[in-house]
């Protein structure tokens, strides 16, 4: 199953759990070995693999155990600017807006009336 925005949270968790279980089996590891290596309980690994919710920190530990943490960097790349820098740039853009001129300009030039 492809992970996309149309999946429910439950379906997404289940798919991630199945993929991690497949990875564990492919590496010929037991849930207990993964739990020990990741620093989580066996029941946490069971919960993740069955598609139940878990703390993000536990998921990160399991991903790290499988050397999959780098995938998160591709998923959420660093922004080029920090959030504070983005806010500063927005403020500068607001300050540098061009304002309409309040002076009225006319196309005709003013001349002295010499007949008066």
Instruction: Kindly report the CATH number assigned to the domain that includes residue 28.
Output: 1.10.260.40
Check pLDDT > 60 for residue 97. Answer: no
Angle at 90 between CA 86 and CA 95, to 5 degrees: 145
- The per-residue pLDDT for 108 is 62
Q: Is 84 part of any domain?
A: no
Token couple for 4? 């996309």
Token couple for 99? 């304002």
Backbone angles phi, psi at 49, to 5 degrees: -65, -30
Classified as helix, coil or strand, 7 is coil
Which candidate, 20, 18, 45, places its Cα nearest to that of 31? 45
Using a cut of 0.75, tell me whether the model's pTM lies above it: no
- The per-residue pLDDT for 47 is 96
Mean pLDDT for 78-87 is: 78
Check pLDDT > 80 for residue 115. Answer: no
- The per-residue pLDDT for 84 is 80
Q: Is 98 part of any domain?
A: no
Mean pLDDT for 23-27 is: 96
Mean pLDDT for 35-59 is: 96
Q: How confident is the model at residue 58 (pLDDT cuts 50, 70, 90)?
A: very high
Q: Is 37 part of any domain?
A: yes
Q: Is 97 part of any domain?
A: no
User: What is the residue range of 47's domain?
Assistant: 9-75
**Structural domains of the chain, count:** 1
Q: Is 26 part of any domain?
A: yes
- The per-residue pLDDT for 40 is 97
- The per-residue pLDDT for 45 is 97
């Amino acid at each position: 199953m492809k992970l996309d925005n149309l999946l429910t949270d439950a379906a997404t968790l289940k798919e991630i759990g199945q993929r991690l279980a497949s990875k564990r089996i492919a590496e010929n590891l037991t849930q207990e070995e993964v739990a020990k290596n990741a620093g989580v309980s066996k029941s946490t690994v069971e919960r993740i693999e069955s598609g139940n919710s878990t703390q993000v920190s536990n998921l990160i530990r399991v991903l790290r155990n499988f050397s999959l943490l780098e995938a998160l960097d591709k998923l959420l790349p660093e922004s080029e600017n920090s959030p504070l820098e983005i806010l500063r740039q927005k403020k500068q853009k607001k300050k540098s807006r061009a304002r309409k001129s309040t002076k009225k300009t006319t196309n005709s030039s003013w001349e002295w009336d010499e007949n008066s």
